[in-house]
Amino acid sequence: MKVPLQLLYLFILAASAYGFGSMGPISASFGDYPLFCAIDASGKQAVICWDANNSSSSASSSSRFSTALPPMAALSGGDGFLCGIMADNSQPLCWGFNKTSDLVPDALKLNAYSHIASGKDHVCAIRGSYFSENVSGNVDCWDIVRVSNTSLISKQSIRFYDQNASSLVFTRLVSGDGFSCGVVLDGGIACWGPNSSSLAVSAESDNFVALASNVDSICGVSQRSGEIKCWGNTGITPPSGIRLVALAAGAQHFCGIREDNHGIECWGSFNASLIPKGAGFLSIASSEWLNCGIREGDLVLDCWFANVSSQVNFDPPLQLCSPGLCRAGGCGEGMFGFNASLLNEPDLTSLCVRKDLSICSPCGFNCTQGFFPSSLCSSNADRVCTPCSLCQNSTCEDVCKLKSSPQSQSQSHGEQLRQLLLIIGSSASGFLLILIAWCLLPRVARDEQGKKTRQCLSCFGKPDLEADGSVDQHAPATVAPCPGVAQVFRLSELKDATNGFKEFNELGRGSYGFVYKAVLTDGRHLAVKRANAATIIHSNSRDFETELEILCNLRHANIVNLLGYCAEMGERLLVYEFMPHGTLHDHLHGGLSTLNWTLRLKIAMQAAKGLEYLHKEAVPPIVHRDIRTSKILLDADWGARISDFGLLTPKEVDSEAEMKKDVYSFGVVLLEILSGRKAYDEECSPPGIVDWALPQIKQGRAAAIIDRYVALPRNVEPLLKLADIAELALREDPNQRASMSDLALLLDQLGKEGLVL
């Protein structure tokens, strides 16, 4: 029978829906300790499996398997077992956890099937070749019988023989506890089995683009309206007004993949804070208490708990997985064929075992919060999502603005108002303090002989100011010499460049004061560090001169270099190079563009070189004392620059013990770069990154801490070495910690080895 084009599109789109008892490239068994299996992205359609006790990279190495699995076309999970369709012959294969394999009755082993669905204790499958373009047929079912806690057997099913169901032609199936349901070729859903009557779906005539079942209920997404419909024990209300392209079901929750941005939408009993944010998915599978998905951007596995308070060790393997099922035929409207070249693997031309097969995935037309679609979906590529921080035209500005909900916008405006009132309230007292400081501080600094000191020379060719005996109240105060590098800026010049030091020009703030972005009349972009009144009152002019003397002599490619200063009207302003890409903290934790692994390793190496320079080459040596990701800035070339050394005095800068503290702090930075997790996060347990990551590194489980929100390289060895380098910096005994020179050398060697993305 020839399949109509509309139904063919339905079959292709339905291939992206993976549920509790349905079929997909990733699936989970259910029971107390679920086992997840997925088809990898090597082009061989090999199977990888993992459970709560390990993160196995292959079925043969998992503690719950006795033999390796053959290449599989599709997977489906039941209670304590999984089933699949073998890629080479379309025959079924079912296996249990403990040395129980080949759970298919002898009479059915040689049959070819196009679809398979595992339930609590039974399996149903649609007859026909899996790789045929006509993916429809009649149904066979068999039982999986548990004879002991560790042993399962199979037999042909009497419970699931139904005359009406046997005469129908199905396109796909789902199974639960005592029932199976299928999408009928002619339209609607039919259910059978001893518990099927409780579902009450007999009158349903709609077609569905996604279908999933748990033990006692099923949900589907209407092809016609996009509405989510549920049957059975439906005490949980699905969301309305949201279109989904895939579904998965746990014991007390359903989750789906949104059509617009491929984000996760869940309903039922689940913890919303555990759902991955800022990532889209192409496939998803659920067990009772755990969900795992395959991310669209990099095909990395991502797992999260549905609603669990206990800490369970569950780390998926660091392997790329297939985003969908390999099928014959082209992709329909609203779909794209996944392009293997996106994985940057020269030898990988297809994710399927045959070149005539393709993986059709649903197009996205929007992006998750903080990103905008910079290109549309085509026949061989999904839309591209670009960080809003890179938005440069009105179209994306509108999209990025719409990402903020009215509630968040209201909160943002409220916060701005609060900060404005705080600034206004403090300005009066601040001005008074500055005025007092101005009255107390000498207008002209003199050397020990009572002569005027020379002004700093300008690296931009600005001439020295003549000392003519007259005093200009607007002239900059003179300070100790800063030979050949620092420019003396006028206060009026910097006020104009920062729009009067307005809040919207603010780049950051600290105990010293505020940092502002400045744009000079000649177009140069600078960063101006302005001391607050408290800093001025509690320090003297000699402190400022000392800092200038030291900063003027510091020049390195991996520190933020001083360009000039201003000391008019009691102000103390330091002018630095402007870093257009912000701080490392903003990119790791603040929602700016995600840094890939090549950039992260480069930043780690360059930051180490910057600190090495401060420790070993600066005269006198400089201890940073506050190294963290917010103190590492990124220049126009994404180079790392160490910033914010604070006020320095000679007696504070030569301590070896203090340098070891810098090393430890840099080790924390390396962990943040590697994991993407904050140094301290109260929502995590343990909240401290060192307490969380260091034990895993020492136990040889460094792979478990690698950031899964970044496209995983094919060669993860450099990332594992980066974890070892971090451990050298974080040793409890300071005497056993590496020096900054050692760390810089190791990171430099790691960069030279290269990172295959």
Residues serving a catalytic function are 626
Report the C-alpha gap between 237 and 535 in whole angstroms: 58
**Angstrom distance (rounded) from CA 483 to CA 494:** 22
Q: What whole-number distance in Å separates Cα of residue 658 and Cα of residue 436?
A: 36
Question: Residue 688 contacts by C-beta under 8 Å, 6 or more apart in sequence?
Answer: 679, 680
Measured distance CA(141)–CA(100) in Å, rounded? 19
* Angle CA 535–538–544, to nearest 5: 65
Cα–Cα distance, 398 to 347 (Å, whole number)? 41
Phi and psi at 271, nearest 5°, equal -100, 110
What is the rounded CA–CA span in Å between residue 12 and residue 324?
10
Q: Which helix (H) or strand (E) holds 740?
A: helix 740-753
Residue type, 99: K
The tokens for 171 are 């396109």
Tell me phi and psi for residue 208, to 5 degrees: -135, 135
317 token code pair = 């393997």
Residue 576's DSSP bridge partners are: 527, 562
How large is the greatest C-alpha to C-alpha distance in the chain, in angstroms?
Answer: 111
Measured CA distances, 173 to 18, 143, 189, 327 (Å): 11, 16, 9, 17
Task: State the DSSP string of 549-591.
Answer: HHHHT---TTB--EEEEE-GGG--EEEEE--TT-BHHHHHHSS
> Strand 573-577 to strand 632-634: parallel, antiparallel, or no bridges (unpaired)?
unpaired
**Contact predicate 38/51, CB 8 Å:** no
**DSSP run (H or E) holding 548:** helix 541-552
Tokens representing 396 are 């994306």
Number of H helices, E strands in the chain: 13, 35
Distance in angstroms (rounded) separating the CA atoms of residues 705 and 722: 11
Quick count: other Cβ atoms within 10 Å of Cβ 120? 21
Q: Which residue, 296, 301, 335, is CA-closest to 11?
A: 335
The answer to whether the CB of 742 falls within 8 A of the CB of 659 is no
Task: Name the strands in the sheet holding 217-222, side by side, starting at the edge strand that comes first in the sequence.
Answer: 208-213, 217-222, 228-232
Q: Give the β-pairing of 281-286 and 301-305.
A: unpaired
Q: Which two tokens stand for residue 490?
A: 């006028």
Contact 323, 331 (CB under 8 A): no
**Cβ(744)–Cβ(750) under 8 Å?**
no
Q: Do 608 and 666 form a contact (C-beta atoms < 8 A)?
A: yes
| CB burial of residue 664 (10 Å; 0-12, 13-18, 19+) | middle
744 sits in which H/E element: helix 740-753
β pairing state of 139-148 and 151-156: antiparallel
Structural contact between residues 602 and 558, judged by C-beta atoms closer than 8 angstroms: no
Q: Could you tell me which of 649, 724, 662 has the C-alpha nearest to residue 694?
A: 724
Rounded Cα distance between 665 and 628, Å, is: 7
Burial class (CB in 10 A: 0-12, 13-18, 19+), 506: middle
Length of the chain: 757
